[in-house]
Amino acid sequence: MAILVNQDTRLLIQGITGREGQFHGQQMINYGTNVVAGVTPGKGGQTTLETVPVFNTVEHAVRETGANTSIIYVPPAFAADAALEAFETGIEVVIIITEGVPTIQMMKVFHEAKRLGKRFVGPNCPGVISPGLAKVGIMPGHIHKKGNIGVISRSGTLTYEVVWELTSAGLGQSTCVGIGGDPIIGSTFTDLLALFEKDPGTDAVVVIGEIGGTDEQDAAAFVRDQMTKPVVGFVAGLTAPPGKRMGHAGAIISGGEGTAQEKLAAFEACGVRTAKLPGEIPGIVKELLGSTTA
């Protein structure tokens, strides 16, 4: 089992004829993802990546192919409109890879998704992968291994590092989700923890946080109050100086809030085991799974 994407995913690529859409579209196809359509306005009627039909609109693509998931590789100025177009046509899950999308535009996307009951991940994220089932994003598929550990992360590259540590230790993953590092994102730690809690194919979850905001504190409280499955936390940025943004637009400590120390303390206060280094995570996961099955 998995969350968000699986063997039933019928993927539509918005911006398929661009450089990123072409490269990562081929990588997703090579991984085994069922890419059924692409959309680039003005280029409808073409075929790309050997077998994928291109349409002018998402509405036409969904009607002809039954696409149920979309991934967005369009430029920042048009990414929000692309997401809104996907919501309006019945697409259930939208993954926004694009970075640099104006925050004020993402606020509209966020509220429209809530109004319509749609789910999106991103922007400025690596995407979602359910190993062995579907890859919808830009992550390197070969480092993942099918298994029962869920992974949620604000950092793309840290996701890859932690996944490789898990895979090397023989711990496969059910689904790995990069939620993105922007101030306004579609799916939070708590949103995804709730999905993993309900997923019978997930036995434990790794949460990878970073400085800025209070999402990790919210996640810690959710684990304490709602989770029955073990959760391991890791927070990057212990040495980050206050007032400096570190990589992501959302990774900034403001008014003394959002420090790594504060987030780690919240995890520990709520009973979430934490790791100081990514390499410690597999051992903690194995320990917790052993204690829950004993």
Return the closest-CA partner of residue 185 out of 97, 92, 252, 293.
Answer: 97
What is d(CA 121, CA 104) in angstroms, rounded to the nearest whole number? 17
- Residue 194 Cα distances to 3, 107, 109, 199, angstroms: 10, 23, 22, 9
Q: What angle do CA 101, 153, 38 make, to 5 degrees?
A: 50
Helix (H) or strand (E) holding 283: helix 281-293
How many residues are given for the chain? 294
CB 141 within 8 A of CB 119: no
What is d(CA 176, CA 159) in angstroms, rounded to the nearest whole number? 8
What is d(CA 208, CA 152) in angstroms, rounded to the nearest whole number? 6
What 3-state class would DSSP assign to 179? coil
What 3-state class would DSSP assign to 183? coil
What is d(CA 175, CA 173) in angstroms, rounded to the nearest whole number? 6
Q: Tell me if residue 60 is catalytic.
A: no
Residue of 111, 142, 144, 248 marked active site: 248
Return the closest-CA partner of residue 234 out of 185, 187, 184, 283.
Answer: 283
Its sign, for the CA torsion 94, 129, 13, 80, is positive
What is d(CA 135, CA 284) in angstroms, rounded to the nearest whole number? 27
CB 49 within 8 A of CB 23: no
Residues with a catalytic annotation lie at: 248
